[in-house]
Structure 1
Amino acid sequence: MTTTTNAPAGLKVSEQKALAALAEHSGATASEIASYAGIGGSTAGKALNALESHNLAYRERGAMTGNRKEADLWYHRPVETTPEHISDEPEAEAAPAATEAEVEAPAETAPEAPAEAAETPAAKAAPTKRLARGGLRQMVYDYLAAHPAEEVGPSGLGKTLGRSAGAVANALAKLAAHGQAELTSDSPRRYRLKA
């Protein structure tokens, strides 16, 4: 699997800096990215919106707490040469919340690649099997269950599981929302199995 943060031609310097910072600190707020990138807060906000329009970043909208809205969290969307980019991230963004039965179901691989993945040259050559719906969440949960005392972040766990950090970040967030994992640190984001 090859992951690249190569930016398309035409990105401004501030957008390139924001992209580099986001690649290292996926799951950060815009103000944190501004600090990591060494650029102003409003500049970082504009740069992140531009990266989102180039499909190089995506945001998780902050929840409302009373009358206060929490800050949006920004994630790096790496460009990958395996079907993982096709299967994991869009499903993680668009899928409805996992049911209890879905989270508890064993992880399975699809018996054959769907037609749209087979049409992609990279998909033909890639050895990575596409996961069934909810499969990545199950992989993440299984890892947390096997290492209950360990606090993990999306990037490190993504490397361990051979999956993208963005998709793993979504899986961790959904497990936390269902009470199966707990967020132990906001910056950097860290999770562990819910006791």
Structure 2
Amino acid sequence: MKLTKRLHSCVQLEKDGRTLVIDPGAFSEPDAGLGADVLLVTHEHPDHFEEGRLRAALDANPAAGLWTLDSVARLLAPAYPGRVHTVGHGDAFTAAGFEVAVHGELHAVIHPDMPRVTNVGYLVDGSVFHPGDALTVPGVPVDTLMLPVHAPWNKIAEVIDYVREVAPRRAVDIHDAYLADLARPIYDRALESLGGADHARLTAGASTEL
């Protein structure tokens, strides 16, 4: 597969002429979902879910489908009958040649006084795991972990321990829009020296072969 990093937590995967896009939210490029055959959304927060981007992608490709949790699916299913699918922890499906397994149930705790929304992560082709906004350990081998490096709900010690627990071959940063370039070397050094896995940081639009 070819992995392309888009802005913030949006990731694009391509193989055999098909494209899968995860979390084309409000912090990603306006065209982040265009060209997708498969769209996956981890949760309802606007930096991961932006309704206009999803509608544009579904309108552009009448064969494209969306897989997501109930709160997002309810908003789009009436306009796209048969193309919007609700998934939850433990589900598995095949879409456009991609094998997807769903892991996780809740968003990470931001503050005890803030309700936790549903959050699901996606393991694609038994290789690439995108956890959304949670440090979900899928309990199966992961080759490439899409790693939320900076968020209102995490700190670097938790991120390091998460990489250690999942034990991927490599970790690639996502959820990085909040992190200033000035501070990136601090995170890079800590993850590279303490995470126990190869660490990669891709700029938006950059790609790597998996």
Same fold by TM-score, threshold 0.5 exceeded?
no
The structure whose residues are more often strand, as a share, is: 2
The structure whose residues are more often helix, as a share, is: 1
Give 1 or 2 for the bigger CA radius of gyration: 1
TM-score, length-scaled by structure 1: 0.31
TM-score, length-scaled by structure 2: 0.29
